[in-house]
Structure 1
Amino acid sequence: MSGDFLLGVNYWPRRKAMYWWKEFDAREVIEEFTQIRELGLKLVRIFLLWEDFQPKPNTVSDSAISNLGTVLDTAKELGLMVIPTFFVGHMSGLNWLPKWLLSGRPHERFLTFSDGRVVDSGAINIYENPLALESEKILLETVGREFSSHGAVHSWDISNELDNVFIPRNPEVARRWLSFVYRTLKSVSKKPVTFGIHQEDIEGDKHFRVPDVAKWNDYLCMHAYSVYTDFTEPLDPYFVPFTCVLTRELGGKDVLMEEFGMPTTQGTTKRIKSATGKRVMEHYLVNEKEAARWLEKTLRLIKAVGSIGAVYWNFSDYYPALWRRPPFDRAIHERFFGLFREDGSPKPGALVMKKFAEEQCDPEGIGVKLNVPDDYYSNPKENMKKLYLQFRGVVEHDSEPWGSSNRHDSARG
């Protein structure tokens, strides 16, 4: 892909979150997409919650299709492009699945929200089960055909971190499924196709290996969070750009940083207890101003290393009324990833995004060639650590002063 650097945001409504499609309000979309456009952002990634779009295996919801059309029409009127994401699937520490897709067996990491309640059940084999495959084909063809020529559709995203729902048995199963999905979409739409993989797919081997994903993507994506990484600091501005370069080196295609962000607080940076899947773990809430300084440096580096764009997680913090509902009743940190606060006011990070968009910021490019071993996936975590140090040595020197180390702002204290 080529063209201008794409600056955007992942979107759930601040009042609805993952309950958006069940409680759809077109006026809300107009209001919040207008806020996004006023920041100068061009790209919005949205999520087709599987249960809402396909309540039965052979049925795609007419109302969901109609509401998606409203969203895309609104985006077009405002000059925004949209990446619709299929098979969601995994979102904010829960798996959101239609009842017909449940296996009845517990998932090793995540609870599932289905049919209005949280259940301890994983999914059937979504890559090999005949019912699942036929249903996926129906959803892809129905949505892809309906909006194949819509001017607001930038590209299609196959799914969001789908190995958190079900890990393929082996890389061959993953390759076969990616080929099936890609070919199905391309049979009804000529829009580009990508796949929302995440840092777990380069830190470990969940069988969606980047070189394999690249064969069935028109461009690559990566989701990376320095605050979730155990071998650097939460406010390290180098980690996210590094994952862009590593993904490009592994896959040989352009990379969009499709998710990156920081959970924030207006107060002092602090550690909190918050659920990640079934486990309660220690997370950070980072002071908004510290997070904004991190974002400015990270954005400049993402662009400087040659990524095609950056899509922030997330549009807004969520209304307190949502804090009683899953996943926010347990996943405290997920409440506060927004560019906007719950009352609609912009955080300092939103102003960083706006300034970046207005200035058409064009830092000098930094050429980085990593010595990625052919057998990277034989020991991905150790290979990733070594390559990160290599990246840091090159980029930290070449990117001064605007990309200088942020260790003094670190939440590790």
Structure 2
Amino acid sequence: MPLASPSATPSGAPRFGANYTPGQGWFHHWLDFDLDAVRADLDAVAALGLDHVRVFPIWPYFQPNRTLIRPRAVEQLVQLADAAAERGLDVNVDGLQGHLSSFDFLPAWTQTWHRRNLFTDPDVVAGQAAYLRTLAAALADRPNFIGMTIGNEINQFSAGPHPDPDRITEEQAETWLRTVLAACEEGAPGKLHLHAEYDAAWYQPDQPFTPGQAARLGAVTAVHSWVFNGTAQRHGRTGTATRAHAAYLIELSKAWALDPHRPVWLQEVGAPAPLIPAEHAAAFTEETIEAALDCQDVWGVTWWCSHDVSRALADFPELEYSLGLLTNDGRVKPAGAAVARIAKEWRGRTYAPAPRTTAVVVDDAMERRVECAPGGAVFEAFARLTQDGVRPAAVLASRVADAEHLAARGITEVVTPEEVR
């Protein structure tokens, strides 16, 4: 049976799930939807002992015209959610992908002859809101529906290195986020609705989507941890910074949160080859999750991804073919076995990590975000302290003198990156 309260962690423990990548046809399976194939995939996910999946109704497949949200596609999404419920799996629904595994997924009514800004054009935003509201409403009465994620790292469309970005300001990004989050709430009141950016929001100075937005808007903070961002290249497979990258992002997000105990969802994390070779994927998986769960207030860990991409599909970057916990025909891989062991070990276990008493100071200025990126002063100070066994947190420079905030987080010592060096 599905969990009674999808928004809560089971028995006080963090939740464990997978980003559902269908074994047959990848996300193009929506074009030839086969419920029996979906059921087989979900059987394999449930057999790992996971409790939820994040699913991806591909935006242009579901809303090919601004005023056409295909009823049959919405029905199929509900069928998928019901199939998950039958297997004890809760469901988070990703609305506006934008981008997945090197491919952009935008409807034709936003492109070329109909080119309009994704974040500021009134008609586009109204269409997005209608779509998100429709999906949320279709699932609102399902007990296993966790809530909506606005999109998959859609912030990449707002700045470089995207080849054709829709430039916006920080204020416009926040207005857009508030609008689309409100649409989800209108469709499914009281569910766990959130937004998710890739790490440029934390690291890239000219990103209009900001750490403050990530850590303050929506029901939880989502972080996506990928060590191919320069971390593994700089520190190697076994480097402390590589193994603790997810934990670092969790703690960095907590520096920006207004609520000292705001939940953080490690919503995407994976073991990318060749930086993490296949023979080391299980060890990396275990080390990454162990480090993440040494942070407080973790809502859950959702691994990328459930199934490998089939080699029958062309033009994916090489690493995308091997990220699954399962092969595309459902066989458990070493990383999948590792996640299954961890999920079993945590079932019924008390989740109460000790406070992190030493915090690295993070500059509030958006143009200083590069200091938080791999190679930056904050990033390297955090890694050095972790290597020395310190269990660091992070705190904004503007809050160093806020005794109430520090006490709420259990911080008793504050150090600058320069002091760590």
Same fold (TM over 0.5): yes
**Secondary structure in 1 matching 2:332:** coil
Output one character per residue of 1:168-191: Cα deviation in whole Å (capped at 9) or x when no partner: 511000011111112222123121
Question: Could you tell me how far apart the structure 1 residues matched to 2:158 and 2:369 are?
Answer: 20
Answering whether residue 309 of structure 2 is matched by residue 318 of structure 1, we say yes
Answering whether residue 355 of structure 2 is matched by residue 367 of structure 1, we say yes
Question: Could you tell me how far apart the structure 2 residues matched to 1:292 and 1:313 are?
Answer: 13
Q: Which residue of 2 aligns with 1:77?
A: 86
Answering whether residue 218 of structure 2 is matched by residue 209 of structure 1, we say no
Q: Which residue of 1 aligns with 2:157?
A: 165
Cα offset, 1:2, TM superposition:
5.2
**2:23–2:328 Cα contact (<8 Å) kept:** yes
Question: Could you tell me how far apart the structure 2 residues matched to 1:2 and 1:153 are?
Answer: 12
Matches within 5 A, 1:377-396: 377-384=366-373, 385-396=376-387
**1:46–1:85 Cα contact (<8 Å) kept:** yes
Structure 2 alignment gaps of length 5 or more? 1-6, 160-166, 392-421
Q: Go from structure 1 to structure 2 and tell me whether the alpha carbon gap of 1:364 and 1:386 turns closer, same or farther (over 3 Å shift).
A: farther
Question: Could you tell me how far apart the structure 2 residues matched to 1:173 and 1:17 are?
Answer: 33
Question: Could you tell me how far apart the structure 2 residues matched to 1:341 and 1:198 are?
Answer: 25
Q: Go from structure 1 to structure 2 and tell me whether the alpha carbon gap of 1:185 and 1:363 turns closer, same or farther (over 3 Å shift).
A: closer
1:302 to 292, 296, 299: 292
Q: Which residue of 2 aligns with 1:335?
A: 321
Q: Go from structure 1 to structure 2 and tell me whether the alpha carbon gap of 1:292 and 1:366 turns closer, same or farther (over 3 Å shift).
A: farther
**Secondary structure in 1 matching 2:235:** coil
Q: Which residue of 2 aligns with 1:225?
A: 226
Cα offset, 1:356, TM superposition:
0.4
2:255 to 240, 249, 256: 249
Answering whether residue 174 of structure 2 is matched by residue 175 of structure 1, we say yes
Supply the AA of the counterpart residue of 1:200: A
Q: Which residue of 2 aligns with 1:152?
A: 144
The TM-score normalised by the length of structure 2 is 0.80
Question: Could you tell me how far apart the structure 2 residues matched to 1:150 and 1:216 are?
Answer: 24
**2:59–2:95 Cα contact (<8 Å) kept:** yes
Question: Could you tell me how far apart the structure 2 residues matched to 1:225 and 1:133 are?
Answer: 29
Answering whether residue 187 of structure 2 is matched by residue 184 of structure 1, we say no
Question: Could you tell me how far apart the structure 1 residues matched to 2:336 and 2:282 are?
Answer: 8
Q: Which residue of 1 aligns with 2:332?
A: 346
Supply the AA of the counterpart residue of 1:256: W
Question: Could you tell me how far apart the structure 1 residues matched to 2:63 and 2:185 are?
Answer: 20
Structure 1 alignment gaps of length 5 or more? 106-122, 265-283, 401-413
2:34 to 25, 28, 41: 25
Q: Go from structure 1 to structure 2 and tell me whether the alpha carbon gap of 1:380 and 1:374 turns closer, same or farther (over 3 Å shift).
A: closer
Matches within 5 A, 1:125-140: 125-140=117-132
Identity %: 22
Supply the AA of the counterpart residue of 1:128: T
Answering whether residue 107 of structure 2 is matched by residue 98 of structure 1, we say yes
Question: Could you tell me how far apart the structure 2 residues matched to 1:51 and 1:239 are?
Answer: 33
Q: Go from structure 1 to structure 2 and tell me whether the alpha carbon gap of 1:129 and 1:234 turns closer, same or farther (over 3 Å shift).
A: farther
2:278 to 288, 291, 303: 288
Question: Could you tell me how far apart the structure 2 residues matched to 1:286 and 1:174 are?
Answer: 34
**2:150–2:195 Cα contact (<8 Å) kept:** yes
Q: Which residue of 2 aligns with 1:16?
A: 25
Mean CA deviation greater in 60-69 or 389-398: 389-398
Q: Go from structure 1 to structure 2 and tell me whether the alpha carbon gap of 1:104 and 1:243 turns closer, same or farther (over 3 Å shift).
A: farther
Count of aligned positions: 359
Cα offset, 1:70, TM superposition:
0.5
Question: Could you tell me how far apart the structure 2 residues matched to 1:42 and 1:15 are?
Answer: 22
Supply the AA of the counterpart residue of 1:375: D
Output one character per residue of 1:281-330: Cα deviation in whole Å (capped at 9) or x when no partner: xxx263323111111111111111122211111111122221x3xxxx14
Cα offset, 1:213, TM superposition:
3.3
Supply the AA of the counterpart residue of 1:224: S
Q: Which residue of 1 aligns with 2:408?
A: none
**1:316–1:339 Cα contact (<8 Å) kept:** yes
Supply the AA of the counterpart residue of 1:320: R
**Secondary structure in 2 matching 1:85:** strand
Q: Go from structure 1 to structure 2 and tell me whether the alpha carbon gap of 1:377 and 1:370 turns closer, same or farther (over 3 Å shift).
A: farther
Mean CA deviation greater in 87-96 or 144-153: 144-153
Supply the AA of the counterpart residue of 2:170: P
**1:170–1:207 Cα contact (<8 Å) kept:** yes
Q: Go from structure 1 to structure 2 and tell me whether the alpha carbon gap of 1:372 and 1:53 turns closer, same or farther (over 3 Å shift).
A: farther
Question: Could you tell me how far apart the structure 1 residues matched to 2:96 and 2:18 are?
Answer: 19
Supply the AA of the counterpart residue of 2:215: A
Cα offset, 1:160, TM superposition:
0.8
Cα offset, 1:204, TM superposition:
0.7
The TM-score normalised by the length of structure 1 is 0.81
**1:7–1:311 Cα contact (<8 Å) kept:** yes
**Secondary structure in 2 matching 1:150:** coil
Question: Could you tell me how far apart the structure 1 residues matched to 2:25 and 2:385 are?
Answer: 43
Q: Which residue of 2 aligns with 1:199?
A: 199
Question: Could you tell me how far apart the structure 1 residues matched to 2:343 and 2:390 are?
Answer: 20
Question: Could you tell me how far apart the structure 2 residues matched to 1:292 and 1:82 are?
Answer: 25
Q: Go from structure 1 to structure 2 and tell me whether the alpha carbon gap of 1:366 and 1:226 turns closer, same or farther (over 3 Å shift).
A: farther
Question: Could you tell me how far apart the structure 2 residues matched to 1:399 and 1:363 are?
Answer: 20
Question: Could you tell me how far apart the structure 1 residues matched to 2:27 and 2:87 are?
Answer: 23
